[in-house]
């Protein structure tokens, strides 16, 4: 069953998606929680929208990872003022013409993990919206892109800003207008794009390798102290 077929659940989904478009930096968890909180207790009980109910977690998970992430990423891709190529997994063959005709997205297909470093390095800019499970952090995709020598632009994440300080301002966007301005700036200034990519690569290789993580866990901040 598609949850949106239920009017009450459909309103929650629509409200979450509208709020995400208006507040790109807000987490989908917070946004759907706000929508659920608007429902009166009796209706919430009838809909089983309490954490004690198994249905609650199935509904929230599917809405965030399915409708929420898909809607937010489509909004981001449609906001781009320059043409882009889309690579991704889990692409159903039947969705290619839909993405092309209805959203103007050129789907290039899937790449093996071993092919990603070359794509990261050779593409002009990687544009991404981080998976919602990383509420305040970024995925390995971002640091992998930087390590390969590429330049990634992605939605604002507090943990990344805390880790890299002001340097993070060069690669994180706050909203779609900001993203488009960053894309124009970097594509119009190849030297600047190269300079930022090299700086981010150096920072990632200095601080975010597995060896550094293991040293922090086992030596610098061992949990058994």
Query: What does the pLDDT look like over 3-59, one tens digit per residue?
Result: 888 999 999 999 999 999 899 889 999 999 999 999 999 999 999 999 999 999 999
199 and 148 share one domain: yes
**With 60 as the cut, is the pLDDT of residue 1 above it?**
no
One domain, residues 67 and 87: no
Residues 51-83 pLDDT 10s: 999 999 999 999 999 899 989 988 998 899 998
Asked if residue 148 and residue 205 are part of one domain, the reply reads yes
Other C-beta atoms closer than 10 Å to the C-beta of 209 total: 13
- Contact between 164 and 203 under an 8 Å Cβ cutoff? The reply is yes
- Number of independent structural domains in the chain: 3
The range of the structural domain enclosing residue 87 comes to: 80-110
The answer on 64 and 127 residing in a single domain is no
Kindly state whether residues 98 and 126 are assigned to the same domain.
Answer: no
Residue spans of alpha helices (H) in the chain: 7-22, 28-37, 41-47, 54-62, 69-79, 95-103, 116-122, 140-147, 158-164, 176-188, 190-207, 210-215
Q: Are residues 55 and 151 in the same domain?
A: no
pTM, two decimals, is 0.85
- As a whole number of angstroms, the distance between CA 105 and CA 135 comes to 26
CB-based contact 96:107 (threshold 8 Å): yes
Both 147 and 89 in one domain: the answer is no
């Amino acid at each position: 069953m598609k949850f949106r077929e239920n009017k009450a659940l459909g309103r929650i989904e629509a409200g979450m998606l509208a709020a995400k478009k208006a507040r790109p930096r807000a987490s989908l968890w917070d946004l759907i929680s706000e929508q659920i909180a608007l429902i009166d207790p009796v209706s919430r009980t009838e809909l089983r929208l309490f954490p004690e109910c198994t249905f609650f977690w199935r509904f929230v998970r599917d809405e965030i990872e399915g409708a929420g992430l898909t809607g937010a990423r489509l909004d981001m891709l449609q906001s781009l003022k320059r043409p882009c190529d889309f690579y991704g997994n889990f692409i159903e063959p039947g969705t290619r013409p839909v993405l092309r005709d209805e959203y103007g997205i050129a789907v290039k297909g899937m790449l093996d993990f071993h092919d990603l470093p070359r794509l990261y390095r050779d593409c002009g800019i990687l544009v991404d919206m981080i998976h919602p499970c990383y509420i305040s952090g970024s995925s390995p995709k971002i640091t992998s892109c930087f390590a390969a020598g590429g330049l990634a632009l992605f939605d604002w994440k507090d943990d990344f800003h805390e880790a890299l300080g002001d340097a993070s301002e060069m690669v994180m966007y706050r909203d779609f207008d900001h993203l488009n301005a960053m894309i124009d700036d970097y594509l119009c200034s190849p030297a600047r794009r190269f300079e930022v990519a090299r700086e981010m690569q150096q920072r990632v290789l200095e601080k975010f390798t597995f060896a550094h993580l293991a040293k922090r866990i086992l030596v610098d901040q061992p949990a058994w102290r």
